[in-house]
């Protein structure tokens, strides 16, 4: 998705515009993921959905998954801050909300995680992707019932819930960027 080199001079911004137009990106953001920012994004997307002719249930489902996706990034960023110092750039993240095929939506997030956490996360996503809807429900309830909420608010439920609500496999990638960090990309389809 992200392939153009963006310069603010010449045609750089126009290229970015065209990329966003072609990929039907509704909203994109790169920077620090704060609680205030997320509040604004929810409001923007809520009014965006209000203005369209979406069925209320689809709207709810989209909104629900969006909240989990963005809070997942938020919790990842909070976890990184527990291991200071956070190297340049790694304290920011990116997300995009795009209109997909057949009126579906795609939510794509990208954030840094410690290399040591890659294997565990990958295993977890693979495990979730291999589950039937029934198994996902069971796993969700087990996790809900047995896991304590961390002080920062994560309970490991978000990623199960995204898969459960979306009904699609989680698309993901890890890109090792340094001895410390990998860039984690996660994409969810809401149809």
Partner 1 sequence: MEALVIEENIKTPSISFDPGKGVLEIKGKSIPENSLEFYKPVFDWIEQYGLSPSNETEIRIRLEYFNTSSSKCLLDIFRKLETIHIAGKSKVHVNWYYEEEDEDMMEAGDDYQTLVKIPFVLVKV
Nearest to 38 by CA among 67, 81, 72, 78: 67
129: closest CA among 106, 160, 92? 160
- Is 75 a binding residue for partner 1 by CB under 8 A? The answer is yes
* Euclidean distance between CA atoms 158 and 164, whole angstroms: 10
CB 65 within 8 A of CB 188: yes
Site residue total, partner 1 (CB under 8 A): 32
User: Among 119, 130, 144, 173, which residue interacts with partner 1 (rule: CB under 8 A)?
Assistant: 144
Q: Structure tokens of 125?
A: 């996503």
- Which residues are CB-neighbours of 176 under 8 A, at least 6 positions away? 115, 118, 182
Q: Which of 81, 147, 176, 178 binds partner 1 (CB under 8 A)?
A: 147
Judged by CB under 8 A, which of 20, 86, 155, 177 binds partner 1?
Answer: 155
Chain residues 77-136 in contact with partner 1, contact rule CB under 8 A: none
Residue among 110 and 158 whose Cβ is closer to partner 1: 158
Of 89 and 133, CB closest to partner 1: 133
Q: Is 138 in the site for partner 1 (CB under 8 A)?
A: no
Tell me how far, at minimum, the Cβ of 154 lies from partner 1, in Å. Answer: 7
Residue 28's SS3 state is strand
Tell me the C-alpha distance between 165 and 98, whole Å.
18
141 touches partner 1 by CB under 8 A: yes
CB 167, min distance to partner 1, A: 11
Distance CA 83, CA 34 (A): 18
Q: Where does this chain bind partner 1 (CB under 8 A)?
A: 35, 38-39, 42-43, 56-57, 60-61, 63-64, 67-68, 71, 74-75, 137, 141, 144-145, 147, 149, 151-155, 157-158, 160-161, 165
């Amino acid at each position: 998705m992200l392939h153009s080199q963006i310069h603010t001079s010449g045609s750089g911004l126009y290229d970015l515009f065209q990329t966003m137009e072609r990929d039907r990106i509704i909203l994109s953001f790169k920077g620090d993921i704060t609680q205030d920012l997320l509040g604004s994004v929810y409001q923007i997307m809520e009014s965006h959905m209000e203005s369209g002719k979406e069925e209320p249930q689809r709207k709810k489902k989209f909104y629900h998954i969006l909240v989990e996706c963005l809070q997942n990034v938020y919790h990842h960023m909070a976890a990184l801050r527990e291991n200071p110092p956070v190297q340049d750039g790694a304290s920011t993240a990116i997300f995009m909300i795009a209109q997909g095929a057949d009126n579906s939506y795609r939510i794509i997030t990208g954030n840094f995680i410690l290399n040591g956490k890659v294997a565990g996360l990958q295993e977890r996503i693979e495990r979730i992707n291999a589950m039937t809807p029934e198994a996902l429900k069971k796993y969700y309830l087990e996790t809900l019932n047995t896991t304590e909420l961390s002080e920062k608010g994560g309970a490991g439920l978000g990623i199960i819930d995204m898969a459960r609500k979306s009904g699609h496999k989680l698309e993901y990638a890890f890109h090792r960027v340094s001895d410390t960090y990998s860039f984690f990309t996660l994409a969810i389809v809401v149809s």
